[in-house]
Structure 1
Amino acid sequence: MADKVKMLGLFFDNDQGKGYSSGEVVSGHILIDLSVPIQITAIRLHVTGCARVGWIDGSQIRTLGAFSLVSTPSSLFQCAEEREYLCLSKTLLEATADNDGLMLEEGRHEIPFELELPQRHLVSSFTGKHGSVCYLVKAVLQRPNHHDQHVCRELPIISHVDVNSPELVCPVSENNEKMVGRWILASGPVSLKVNIERTGYNNGELVPIYAEIENCSSRLVMPKAVIYQIQTYKAKGKTISCKQVVASVRGNHVPSGCSVTWNGKTLKIPPVSPSILNSDILRVEYSLAVIVQIPGAKKLKVEFPVVIGTTPYNDFASRSLSMISGFSTGWLPLTLPDTPEAPPNYADVVPQEEFEQHRPPVSPSQQSEELERQPASQTFSYIHEFRFRPPPLYSEIDPNPMEYQTVFSV
């Protein structure tokens, strides 16, 4: 009788989207294609989500002389944990008490659905080496005297991480140095200084790296920049981590006695999962490292933690937040200065004798009336004579020091 249902499908309206987040509505439809009419009891929808981590712990090893015996399988045990993040159910169609079932005619039927996700923060979907975070939507077709038929689809969930938060937009810098060789065989130090503009980025962004590599050793060294993904799993009181390179860029070799400067060398963020920081059994973190490889010696490294987010970077808003954050950490706030005090009057500064000597014989109003009555040629000559009149004599010795001090005292 199962062949009466030719197809049972589950479709989302935004199949091309990047995923759903807390508070959003998941919408779509269930497609049922029937070869003959059938009677159904109900059509239900279930949404579940959980994180599962697990690995086999076989770290118990006994050493006998030159031989090592790995513990037997009976001593191996599985470290596993599980956390439930989502559990929702909704009935789309159901037979009532008045009838034993609902009839669906032959052909295709589309049953739409809408389901609102909770407002609480959900952990982003992820699949890693020792665990995963997975959300599933299951549509169940119930028929009288038949086994339930169902179809499942994975529901991508994204927990948004804002890269414009104050702690992610501040520049960071660090330096490190390593002496190549030891004792009398030491050839000199290799120093590394690195800084980046911020620690929050999105997929596809270019990370400008500013670095200074100084090679005072006798060896040829080579710098490179790397982005690591660090997966951390916790179960049964134990922790296991794995670290892998997701992006890298190499620089030019630095000969002995030379230095190289990276003035914004770029490293592109690949399409990776956003940072997962809100789960107690599974974490996904990232770091950016600048490494100097030294032949015959351990590498020199400077490493910064970075956060891969989901919201677009806003340069103006981020700068404002960083300024506010700076004020809260003790910076002096930028305030406009008070209105400047008016300068002293000329007559108050220059001695009375000198003022009387250079004071015009008539008042300014009389002067303007006289200029209006004079012809233009005489007015020009008067202005020309006034323009080239020498200024009052200046002396570094104040003839009236007490009076000068009284005038400018505050």
Structure 2
Amino acid sequence: MNFGKIRSFSVALEHGPGGTGVHGSGELVSGQVLLELSQSMKVTALEVCARGLATVHWLESKNVGMNTVYSDYTAYESYLRKRQHLIRDNGAPTVLQAGRHEFPFSFQLPETLVTSFEGKHGSVRYWIKAKLHRPWSTVKKAKREFTVIEHIDINTPALLAPQAGTKEKTARAWYCNLGQVSLSVKIDRKGYTPGEVIPIFAEVDNCTTRVVVPKAAILQTQTFIARGTMKQKKSVVATLAGDSVAAGKRELWHGRALKIPPLGPSITQCRIIRVEYALKVCVDIPGTSKLLLELPLVIGTIPLHPFGSRTSSVSSQYSVNLEWLRMAIPEQPEPPPEYSSLVSEEAAEHNLSPPLHEDYTGTLEGPFYAYIQEFRNRPPPLYSEIDPNPPAPDMRPRCMTC
């Protein structure tokens, strides 16, 4: 029997790029199967498998008469299923000597994967499992999980687009009209990464007879889908409280900062699990329901480039100014208009005709007067890109340092 011959059997994984132990889509997962024997042992096969699976499961109870009936909601979606044979079964067992043995392996991950996730009703997990087959013995197994992050680049036009919304509500309490509250919110983009600050621009117009309080929060929504039924779990991951707004007053937020805590990225490519985020701004009205306004957010993994189009409210204004300059100054200067298009023929003849000699008696005598009259009020030369007086080929440029 082989009982007691195996001292240890495990799977060791190498760190991913950057030494973080986290892998992305399309990367290589490498490692070794470690086997330590106290004495020689016969092995028929050794295989290693790479798996990635999304799982959703929950139970719902319903009373039917005197009995309670439970409905099972389960769904699966596979993303990774690969296998390698480190020791093949060739009909005859392989004898491994006592001591430590290492069997290296590597797997190429697919280009499209879903981020690892652990939720209340489901999960997305990736793991490596090794199986050691021995004659007349049970299969020995070892397992090691690893983390996958789906790269989401927020430097895309869709995620850099500003988000804005407006909402209003007539507040009522016990059939009494308290007045109207209006809320306008704007943020500079849709995509952010953990650790960034969301500058919130908002306007609260309180036309009621009561004091209201504006608030902001980042909301995470986990959605689990199985058998056509949906289960959701919502949680607030960051909050921001504003100042009270008196009756008949208006409150402005000029980029009020809300910092994003460490969060997992958005999950939108999974068929049975979704993780979505939203910026929720509400106005708390005493005695009645709140005025709510939500703007969608996407939490990514690749941060905004240093010279991105929108990094803050200041950079947004700077980019707008640059756009205005690009519109105001043409890339190629336009040629000046022709003289004939601005001056009529009668005016040109009048300007080119010499003045009456009797008007300037004694003042315009001599040959120099004829030279002045020849060039007096002549139109400028036609615009041309070619220099009419090019430099001579043997002329050397003047040295400014001489």
TM over 0.5: yes
Matched, 1:24 2:19: no
Aligned to 2:15: 14
> Which stretch shows the higher mean deviation, 256-265 or 129-138?
256-265
The equivalent residue for 2:71 is 77
CA contact (8 A) 1:94 1:102 kept: no
Letter in 1 for 2:339: P
Q: Which amino acid aligns with 1:136?
A: W
Whether the aligned pair in 1 keeps the contact of 2:223 and 2:273 (CA below 8 Å) is yes
Alignment of 1:268-307 (within 5 A): 268-307=259-298
Whether 2:147 is the aligned partner of 1:156: answer: yes
**Partners of 1:278 and 1:352 in 2: how far apart?**
78
Query: Which amino acid counterpart does residue 100 of structure 1 have in structure 2?
Result: P
Distance 1:184 1:103, change over 3 A: closer
Structure 1 residue 354 displacement after superposition: 4.8
Query: Please, which runs of 5 or more residues in structure 1 have no aligned partner?
Result: 63-68, 320-332, 368-391, 393-410
Query: What is the CA–CA distance in structure 2 between the aligned matches of 1:109 and 1:72, rounded to whole Å?
Result: 57
Maintained 8 Å contact 1:24/1:116: yes
Structure 2, unaligned runs of 5 or more: 311-325, 378-402
Q: Deviations over 1:37-94 (max 9, x none)?
A: 3332332111112211122223x468xxxxxx9x732x22111112222211001233
CA distance in 2, matches of 1:81, 1:351: 89
Shift of 1:258: 2.4
2: distance between equivalents of 1:288 and 1:307?
Answer: 10
CA contact (8 A) 1:166 1:318 kept: no
Q: Is the 8 A contact 1:224 1:251 kept in 2?
A: yes
Q: Percent identity?
A: 36
In structure 1, the partner of 2:184 is: 193
> Is this contact kept in 2: 1:39–1:143, CA < 8 A?
yes
* SS of residue paired to 1:167: helix
Three-state SS of the structure 1 residue aligned to 2:148 is coil
Q: Residue 118 of structure 1 aligns with which residue? A: 110
CA contact (8 A) 1:95 1:102 kept: no
Q: Which of 133, 136, 139 does residue 142 from structure 1 map onto?
A: 133
Separation in structure 1 between the aligned mates of residue 63 and residue 251 of structure 2, nearest angstrom: 47
Query: 1:18/1:195 Cα in 2 relative to 1: closer, same or farther (>3 Å)?
Result: farther
CA contact (8 A) 1:224 1:250 kept: yes
Aligned to 2:98: 105
AA of the residue aligned to 2:337: A
| Matched residue count | 343
- CA distance in 2: counterparts of 1:53 and 1:150, whole angstroms: 25
Q: Quick one: which amino acid aligns to residue 83 of structure 1?
A: E
Distance in 2 (CA, whole Å) between partners of 1:292 and 1:242 is 23
Of 78, 81, 86, the match for 2:80: 86
Structure-1 residue corresponding to 2:195: 204
**Corresponding position of 1:57:** 60
Matches within 5 A, 1:154-193: 154-181=145-172, 185-193=176-184
Which string of whole-angstrom CA distances, capped at 9 and with x for unpartnered residues, describes residues 253-272 of structure 1? 22223222111112222222
- Report the residue type matching 2:334 in the other structure: T
Contact 1:41 1:101 in 2 (8 A): yes
Q: C-alpha separation between the residues in 2 aligned to 1:88 and 1:192?
A: 53
- Contact 2:36–2:98, Cα closer than 8 Å, also in 1: no
CA displacement 1:128-147 (0-9 Å, x = unmatched): 11111112210122223322
Call closer, same or farther: CA 1:47–1:347 in 2, change over 3 Å.
Answer: closer
Shift of 1:338: 7.0
What's 1:401 paired with? none
Per the alignment, do residues 104 and 222 of structure 1 end up closer, same or farther by CA in structure 2, a change over 3 Å counting? farther
| Distance of aligned partners of 1:197 and 1:361 in 2 relative to their CA distance in 1, 3 Å threshold | same
Greater helix fraction, Structure 1 or Structure 2 = 1
Do 1:217 and 1:256's aligned partners in 2 also have CA atoms closer than 8 Å? yes
Find the aligned partners of 2:88 and 2:36 in 1 and give their Cα distance. Answer: 18
What is the alpha-carbon distance in structure 1 between the residues aligned to residue 26 and residue 283 of structure 2? 46
**Contact 1:165–1:318 under 8 Å retained in 2:** no
User: 1-side partners of 2:282 and 2:63: how far apart?
Assistant: 34
Q: How far apart are 1:184 and its partner, in Å? A: 7.9
Q: Write the distance in 2 (CA, Å) between the matches of 1:237 and 1:230.
A: 18
How far the C-alpha of 1:317 sits from its partner, in A, is: 5.8
- Does the 8 Å contact 2:283/2:291 carry over to 1? yes
Deviations 1:12-56 (A, max 9, x none): 211652622332110122222333333323321111122111222
Q: Can you list the C-alpha shifts for 1:198-251, whole angstroms capped at 9, x where unaligned?
A: 111112221111111222222222211111111112212212212111111212
RMSD: 3.1
CA gap 1:347/1:234 in 2 versus in 1, 3 angstroms: closer
Does the alignment pair 1:45 with 2:59?
A: no
- Find the aligned partners of 1:275 and 1:152 in 2 and give their Cα distance: 28
